[in-house]
């Protein structure tokens, strides 16, 4: 009696098909073995695994490895259809040669019984392998096409990211609060000045106490096993923290391949907070490369005359009669150094830092009229983007109506349809005019919450004057309140551009 192994496989896309389900395949394989006096001694099942390649098919590879053993554990392999075993011509040729010729193991496809000892049979089998490979490639293309269509609707594809689950009604991401709380904490800690490594150490040590298991475990939340992963432990390595802080999904943006949709789903992180973190990540990355050259005002100071940056110049000198060298730190115009098209604009670093803190204190003491300060509103960028988009849309109204007019003249639409379209277009135009007016008023409104602004400045002063606060934390707080410090030695002028 021949001893056989049976092999069954189904991909995740095919699980709903009862005819090729694992139980259906096994039933038919056992039935065939019983009728043909074959003893089943081994069973290999790849459940939910694509047949496009053998690389991820653990049970298939185990079957091949055991087939190479001496003595071999079986002399026959039975499978339901050719595409259950192979969907790749190269794999089919290689493994069939190995099993049949090298190991003398018979291969039986119970639904496509072909005598491979004849030229016609060999040709037919090769054709079936080719068809299976074509079907696999075409299926992959169709699946990708379907996924692209879903992505354009902002629908979740597979496992949602940490912080989100999937809304069954809309198919889009919805906030998963246990993980969302952890994310908010990560962003807050980075803004406070904690490094990527420090945040990871903190979460590993205290995360479970603060947030429960969600701090160190991402729970799988895929719907109906589509793209389902196992629950994943999170180590919060520096790279993981950085990737989390950089992920636009947390401000409601959906990105999949070339598809990008803004405000697609509920945001976990405020856009202003997210943009601040991106600025901090960028600045801290540069500072890390030149840690020894880092300083409080790095990247913030510019030359009023040429609008170029001012950079630090460190000079060492030994005064006459002194035992030790002394160090002076100055700021100078980089365009003067590189291109000689501006003057040096030298400033003592101590002079600028102390002058900045003194001016901030003047604001707190109401010795400076806040309404005269240049304060950039941190949320204006979104309003400007929306205004630009609506203005472009507004300009296209005439051309849109012209096209409908052409359709009317060509007899494609009647007069009633043209009048209806004109009415709808007018209503839409009026709505956009109103919104443009609102946006322009919002953007041009220079009013500022004076008390809120003073509180922000007071926190900044407290941080800058605290000798125990690390430099990177001081810089983080400074960047939140100040966009730019402009200097001119010729005019003896320091001008500060605030952010609120």
- Spatial contact of 77 and 63, defined as CB atoms under 8 Å apart: yes
Catalytic residues: 11
Residue with tokens 């790279």: 239
Three-state DSSP state, 487: strand
Q: How many CB atoms lie within 10 A of CB 276?
A: 19
Round the CA-based radius of gyration of the chain to a whole number and report it: 34
Q: For the chain, what is the largest distance between any 2 Cα atoms, rounded to a whole number of angstroms?
A: 108
Query: What is the distance between the alpha carbons of residues 495 and 374, in angstroms, rounded to a whole number?
Result: 9
Query: What is the distance between the alpha carbons of residues 52 and 133, in angstroms, rounded to a whole number?
Result: 8
Query: What is the distance between the alpha carbons of residues 332 and 346, in angstroms, rounded to a whole number?
Result: 5
Query: What is the distance between the alpha carbons of residues 417 and 414, in angstroms, rounded to a whole number?
Result: 5
Instruction: Supply the DSSP string of 17-35, one letter for each residue.
Output: -GGGSHHHHHHHHHHHHHH
Burial-class residue 220 by CB neighbours within 10 Å (0-12, 13-18, 19+).
Answer: middle
Query: What is the distance between the alpha carbons of residues 250 and 175, in angstroms, rounded to a whole number?
Result: 9
- H or E element that contains 141: helix 119-152
The length of the chain is 500
Q: Hey, which bits of 181-309 come out as E strands?
A: 217-218, 232-233, 254-256, 259-261, 301-303
């Amino acid at each position: 009696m021949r001893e056989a192994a049976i092999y069954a496989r189904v991909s995740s896309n095919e699980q709903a098909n009862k005819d090729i389900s694992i139980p259906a395949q096994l039933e038919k394989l056992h039935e065939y073995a019983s009728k043909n006096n074959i003893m089943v001694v081994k069973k290999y099942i790849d459940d939910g695994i694509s047949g496009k390649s053998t690389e991820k098919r653990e049970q298939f590879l185990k079957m091949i490895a055991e087939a190479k053993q001496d003595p071999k554990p079986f002399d026959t392999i039975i499978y339901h259809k050719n595409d259950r075993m192979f969907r790749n011509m190269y794999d089919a040729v290689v493994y069939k040669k190995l099993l049949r010729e090298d190991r003398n193991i018979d291969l039986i496809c119970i639904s496509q019984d072909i005598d491979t000892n004849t030229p016609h049979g060999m040709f037919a089998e090769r054709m079936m392998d080719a068809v299976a490979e074509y079907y696999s490639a075409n299926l992959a293309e169709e699946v990708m096409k379907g996924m692209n269509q879903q992505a354009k609707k902002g629908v979740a594809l597979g496992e949602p990211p940490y912080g989100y689950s999937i809304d069954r009604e809309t198919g889009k991401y919805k906030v998963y609060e246990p993980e969302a709380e952890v994310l908010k904490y990560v962003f807050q800690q980075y803004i406070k000045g904690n490094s990527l490594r420090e945040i990871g150490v903190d979460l590993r040590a205290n995360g479970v106490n603060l947030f429960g298991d969600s701090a160190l475990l991402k729970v799988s939340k895929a719907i109906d096993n589509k793209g389902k992963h196992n629950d994943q432990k999170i180590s919060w390595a520096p790279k993981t923290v950085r990737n989390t802080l950089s992920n636009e999904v947390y401000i409601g943006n959906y990105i999949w391949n070339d598809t990008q949709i803004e405000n697609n789903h509920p945001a976990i992180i405020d856009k202003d907070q997210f943009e601040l973190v991106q600025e901090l990540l960028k600045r801290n990355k540069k500072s890390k490369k030149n840690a020894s050259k880092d300083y409080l005002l790095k990247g913030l100071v510019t030359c009023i005359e040429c609008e170029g940056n001012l950079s630090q110049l460190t000079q060492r000198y030994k005064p006459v009669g002194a035992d030790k060298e002394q160090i002076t730190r100055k700021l100078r115009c980089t365009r003067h150094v590189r291109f000689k098209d501006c003057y040096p604009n030298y400033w003592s670093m101590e002079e600028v830092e102390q002058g900045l803190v003194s001016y901030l204190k003047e604001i707190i003491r109401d010795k400076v009229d806040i309404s005269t300060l240049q304060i950039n509103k941190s949320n204006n960028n979104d309003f400007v983007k929306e205004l630009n988009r609506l203005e472009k849309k507004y300009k296209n109204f005439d051309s849109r109506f012209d096209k409908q007019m052409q359709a009317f003249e060509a007899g494609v639409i009647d007069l009633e349809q043209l009048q209806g379209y004109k009415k709808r277009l007018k209503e839409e135009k009026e709505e956009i005019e109103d919104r443009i007016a609102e946006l322009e008023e919002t953007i041009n409104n220079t009013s500022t919450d004076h008390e809120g602004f003073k509180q922000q400045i007071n926190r900044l002063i407290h941080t800058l004057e605290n000798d125990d606060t690390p430099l990177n934390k001081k810089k983080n707080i400074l960047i939140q309140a100040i966009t730019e410090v402009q200097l001119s030695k010729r005019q003896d002028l320091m001008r500060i551009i605030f952010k609120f």
